[in-house]
């Protein structure tokens, strides 16, 4: 009845790799997807594989709904990944490298360069890189050196005329220097056309000049390798004097976690692999041999080159006429709810709203949650300005946002120094909800201006993640948000909210109740339909409820970008359930939960995916779309349009694999994201429900 969560994730990353293989993408966009594929894999090993290995070693088992043991999962993960990694290497070696060469972006081995270029690189090495390097010997007087997480290293074998063969390890200083080094050239750069550029990998440049590091010895071989360590922080929150200190100490431990994977160059002999693995205390089943460069996430350096002819054409986000910098955002929101759909709509209106709140003399207080803030955050700048202007400002910063802990700690301290009330999150639970409240004194009394969203308050990711944001002054939602902040910052215990569904209190129970209502209405009236769009579907209770809906005859259409543990199309169980996934130019990140409700449609959006961690161990919000026009737009101009995709969508089969969705009768593929770019801003003046669903085919 259930697909294994980890194997479903592998299938998701396969879909990311498919985008790198897709020759319809511009060249640098394909390299971007290859880098994302590799980065995803790094995080998967650091968190998910590390957790399974720990369960296997310690004998503590969290049995998933599919019943697989940790050891079974580890075995199947490896079997699924080996062909994927081979495909990624072939993509790089046989397809992308020749195409880069043809585009004047040449990746070379130092040994293949002409003598003049090698000489220039050697001078650069001697003056810039050599002083930074520290070779570490390994013998009876030198213990095996510590190797940090995700670092690129060289395993070096040298021959000493007196002592024979010796072993050393050298850390490649990626971060101090870029992974790809420009080959110096005296070619004049044309103003009209990009001049060809040559690059060498940093580890190859170092390996070509090891004689300078080992004078008097003969360098026999140098093999690149890379270690991935357990980075799943175990924060002893109950024992810590304060949460900030506990998170800081745990982040430091991430660098030294237990090894979970070693990547080596395929040329490394078995004896050398065994030598490295043995001293790290891992088996050869945790060693992965590569034909391409290890650490392909660093290829993002190429994807960011200023070569617009090899990138997606730029798009220009829309700005609602009522939320331009010249307009009064408070008056606009009072007139009616306003929907923003990023990145097709600019994130600037939210920044402008916050900046106006910071300077408006009638604004009394600002409260908001921050999960992944990003660098150079205009949101944080606005909060600091508000505090300088005498507003009461409260920011709940989730210190435990994975891989953003250090960044969030820095922002928390900066805000505190400016006098902002900073809350570090809650013990034992993450705050993942996306909510901002501005309290303003007006002639009619106090008004709460609320922004609720599906994405982080991060101006950078708002350009590449698809997310919904809603401005409203609905009094019941405002009261719910006020209660929520009292719970987050104080000791309030709230078991029921007026309009919001709030995890861990009521998201699961609320959705289950809505699913059961749809089943009952379908039995009475027919025409039952549920449509969900989300990032992940793992929770067994929610899956079982959707199975019951299918068995009762309700049509269930799901679009799940990543992990999906539900099996669609199983006779007698899920025949009326369809599951699709879109991986495209933008990261599909919005969550939409639609119920036909006997014709009186009901739609929720918010921060929560249907995973046990989101429903039980996080503070999440799902908010109803009350305004009929906004509700219609989300249900039919966004959700239904995405369900019609035949360009990037894959359909989940009952066996857990995915197949491409093809246009009917051989028609032109319909790309939802392209259509959204072409029609950005349509939701600012939405059609009423009586006008029916928007059919994208009319606009092709």
Three-state helix/strand/coil letters over 424-456? CCECCEEECCCEEEEEEEECCEEEEEEEEECCC
Contacts of 29 (CB under 8 A, 6+ apart): 303, 310, 311, 312, 585
Q: Residue 384: its pLDDT value, please?
A: 94
Domains 321-489 and 501-699 alike in fold: yes
- Please give the radius of gyration of the chain, using alpha carbons only, rounded to the nearest integer: 27
Q: Residue 690: its pLDDT value, please?
A: 35
The residue among 417 and 366 whose pLDDT is bigger is 366
Whole-angstrom distance, CA of residue 645 vs CA of residue 661: 8
Most confident by average pLDDT, 267-281, 402-416, 577-591, 652-666: 577-591
Out of 25, 310, 342, 432, which one is annotated catalytic? 432
Alpha helices in 59-197 (DSSP H): 70-90, 97-102, 115-124
What Å distances lie between residue 395 and 1, 216, 340, 386, 477, CA to CA?
Answer: 43, 60, 23, 12, 19
Give the lowest-confidence range in 37-41, 88-92, 320-324, 580-584: 320-324
Q: For residue 351, what is the enclosing H or E element?
A: helix 348-359
Q: Residue 193: its pLDDT value, please?
A: 46
- Name residue 441's beta-bridge partners: 446
Whole-angstrom distance, CA of residue 621 vs CA of residue 483: 13
User: Residue 145: pLDDT band by 50, 70, 90 thresholds?
Assistant: confident
The residue among 61 and 430 whose pLDDT is bigger is 430
What end-to-end distance do the CA atoms of the chain give, in Å? 39
Contacts of 526 (CB under 8 A, 6+ apart): none
Whole-angstrom distance, CA of residue 282 vs CA of residue 267: 20
Architecture of the CATH domain 501-699: 2-Layer Sandwich (3.30)
Whole-angstrom distance, CA of residue 440 vs CA of residue 363: 4
Whole-angstrom distance, CA of residue 212 vs CA of residue 206: 10
Whole-angstrom distance, CA of residue 531 vs CA of residue 592: 8
Helix, strand, coil in percent for the chain, rounding step 5: 40, 25, 35
Q: Residue 559: its pLDDT value, please?
A: 98
* Angle between helix 405-417 and 378-388 (nearest 10): 20
Contacts of 166 (CB under 8 A, 6+ apart): 137, 139, 157, 158, 159, 160, 217
Say whether pLDDT at 688 is over 50. no
Q: Is 432 an annotated catalytic residue?
A: yes
Whole-angstrom distance, CA of residue 263 vs CA of residue 292: 11
Say whether pLDDT at 700 is over 60. no
pLDDT by residue (tens digit) across 22-51?
999 999 999 999 999 999 999 999 999 999
Q: Residue 494: its pLDDT value, please?
A: 84
Which has the closest alpha carbon to 612: 559, 565, 561?
565
Q: Residue 341: its pLDDT value, please?
A: 95
What value does the mean pLDDT take over residues 175-189? 82
C-alpha torsion angle, residues 330, 333, 335, 337 (rounded to 10) = -170
What value does the mean pLDDT take over residues 633-649? 96
Greatest alpha-carbon span in the chain: 91
User: Residue 255: pLDDT band by 50, 70, 90 thresholds?
Assistant: low
User: Residue 323: pLDDT band by 50, 70, 90 thresholds?
Assistant: confident
Residue with tokens 């700690």: 409
What value does the mean pLDDT take over residues 591-598? 98
Residue 385 near residue 465 (C-beta atoms within 8 A): no
Q: For residue 523, what is the enclosing H or E element?
A: helix 507-525
Residue spans of the domains in the chain: they are 5-310, 321-489, 501-699
pTM to 2 decimals? 0.93
Q: Residue 689: its pLDDT value, please?
A: 38
pLDDT by residue (tens digit) across 226-248?
999 998 766 555 444 466 666 66
Q: Residue 684: its pLDDT value, please?
A: 61
User: What homologous superfamily does CATH list for 321-489?
Assistant: Endonuclease Chain A (3.30.870.10)
Whole-angstrom distance, CA of residue 593 vs CA of residue 579: 14
Pairing of strands 421-423, 392-397: parallel
3.10.20.30, 3.20.20.220, 3.30.2320.20, 3.30.1840.10: which CATH number matches 5-310? 3.30.1840.10
Which has the closest alpha carbon to 634: 395, 400, 470, 464?
470
Q: For residue 414, what is the enclosing H or E element?
A: helix 405-417
Residue 603 near residue 591 (C-beta atoms within 8 A): no
Q: In three state form, how does the secondary structure of 191-258 look?
A: CCCCCCEEEEEHHHHHHCCHHHCCCCCEEEEEEEEEEEECCCCCCCCCCCCCHHHHHHHHHHHHCCCC
Whole-angstrom distance, CA of residue 421 vs CA of residue 378: 18
Q: Residue 591: its pLDDT value, please?
A: 98
Say whether pLDDT at 393 is over 70. yes
Say whether pLDDT at 250 is over 70. no
Q: For residue 357, what is the enclosing H or E element?
A: helix 348-359
Work out the mean pLDDT of the chain and round it to a whole number.
90
Could you say which DSSP state residue 69 is in? -
Could you say which DSSP state residue 268 is in? S
pLDDT by residue (tens digit) across 1-23?
999 999 999 999 999 999 999 99
Whole-angstrom distance, CA of residue 449 vs CA of residue 360: 13
What value does the mean pLDDT take over residues 501-506? 96
Q: Residue 253: its pLDDT value, please?
A: 61
């Amino acid at each position: 009845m259930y697909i294994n969560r980890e194997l479903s994730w592998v299938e998701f990353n396969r879909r990311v790799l498919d985008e790198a293989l897709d020759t319809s993408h511009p060249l640098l966009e394909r390299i971007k997807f290859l880098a994302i594929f590799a980065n995803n894999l790094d995080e998967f090993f650091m968190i998910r594989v590390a957790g399974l290995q720990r369960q296997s070693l310690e004998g503590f088992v969290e049995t998933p709904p599919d019943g697989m043991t940790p050891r079974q999962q580890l075995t199947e993960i490896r079997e699924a990944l080996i062909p994927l990694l081979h495909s990624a290497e072939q993509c790089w070696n046989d397809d992308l490298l020749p195409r880069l060469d043809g585009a004047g972006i040449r990746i070379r081995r130092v040994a293949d360069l002409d003598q003049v270029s090698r000489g220039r690189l050697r001078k650069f090495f001697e003056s810039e890189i050599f002083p930074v390097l520290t070779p570490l010997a390994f013998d009876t007087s030198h213990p095996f050196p510590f190797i940090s997480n995700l670092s690129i290293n060289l395993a070096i074998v040298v021959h000493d005329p007196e002592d024979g063969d010796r072993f050393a390890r050298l850390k490649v200083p990626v971060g101090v220097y870029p992974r790809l080094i420009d080959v110096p050239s005296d070619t004049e750069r044309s103003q009209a056309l990009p001049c060809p550029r040559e690059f060498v990998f940093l580890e190859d440049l170092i390996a070509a000049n090891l004689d300078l590091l080992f004078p008097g010895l003969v360098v026999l071989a140098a093999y690149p390798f890379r270690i991935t360590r357990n980075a799943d922080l175990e924060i002893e929150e109950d024992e810590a004097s304060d949460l900030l200190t506990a998170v800081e100490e745990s982040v430091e431990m991430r660098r030294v976690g237990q090894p979970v994977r070693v990547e080596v160059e395929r040329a490394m002999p078995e004896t050398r692999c065994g030598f490295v693995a043995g001293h790290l205390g891992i088996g050869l089943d945790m060693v992965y041999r590569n034909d391409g460069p290890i650490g392909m996430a660093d290829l993002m350096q190429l994807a960011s080159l200023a070569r617009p002819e090899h990138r997606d054409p730029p798009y220009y986000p829309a700005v609602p006429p009522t939320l331009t910098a010249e307009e009064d955002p408070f008056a606009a929101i009072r007139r009616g709810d306003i929907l923003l759909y990023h990145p097709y709509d600019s994130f600037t209106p939210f920044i402008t709203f916050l900046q106006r709140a910071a300077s408006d003399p009638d604004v009394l207080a600002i409260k908001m949650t921050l999960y992944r803030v990003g660098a150079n955050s205009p949101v944080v700048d606005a909060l600091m300005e508000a505090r300088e202007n005498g507003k009461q400002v409260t920011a709940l910063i989730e210190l435990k946002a994975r891989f953003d802990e250090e960044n969030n700690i820095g922002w928390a301290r900066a805000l505190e120094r400016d006098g902002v009330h900073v809350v570090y999150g809650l013990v034992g639970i993450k705050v993942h909800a996306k909510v901002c409240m501005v309290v303003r004194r007006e002639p009619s009394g106090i008004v709460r201006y609320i922004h609720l969203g599906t994405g982080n308050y991060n101006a950078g990711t708002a350009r590449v993640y698809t997310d919904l944001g809603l401005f409203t002054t609905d009094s019941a939602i405002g009261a719910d948000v006020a209660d929520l902040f009292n719970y987050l910052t104080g000791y309030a215990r709230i078991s029921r909210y007026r309009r919001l569904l709030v995890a861990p209190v009521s998201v699961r129970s609320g959705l289950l109740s809505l699913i059961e209502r749809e089943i009952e209405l379908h039995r009475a009236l027919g025409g039952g339909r549920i449509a969900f769009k989300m990032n992940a579907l793992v929770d067994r209770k929610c899956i079982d409820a959707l199975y019951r809906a299918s068995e009762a005859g309700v049509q269930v259409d799901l679009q799940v970008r990543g992990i999906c543990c539900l099996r669609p199309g199983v006779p007698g169980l899920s025949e009326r359930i369809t599951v699709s996934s879109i991986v495209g130019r933008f990261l599909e990140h919005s969550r939409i939960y639609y119920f036909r409700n006997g014709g009186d449609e009901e739609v929720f959006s918010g921060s929560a995916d249907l995973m046990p961690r989101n429903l039980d161990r996080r503070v999440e919000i799902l908010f109803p779309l009350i305004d009929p026009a906004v509700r219609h737009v989300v249900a039919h101009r966004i959700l239904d349009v995405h369900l019609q995709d035949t360009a990037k969508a894959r359909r989940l089969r009952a066996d857990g694999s995915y197949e491409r969705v093809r246009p009917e009768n051989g028609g032109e593929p319909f790309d939802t994201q392209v259509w959204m770019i072409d029609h950005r801003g349509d939701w600012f003046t939405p059609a009423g429900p009586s006008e029916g669903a928007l059919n994208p085919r009319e606009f092709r």
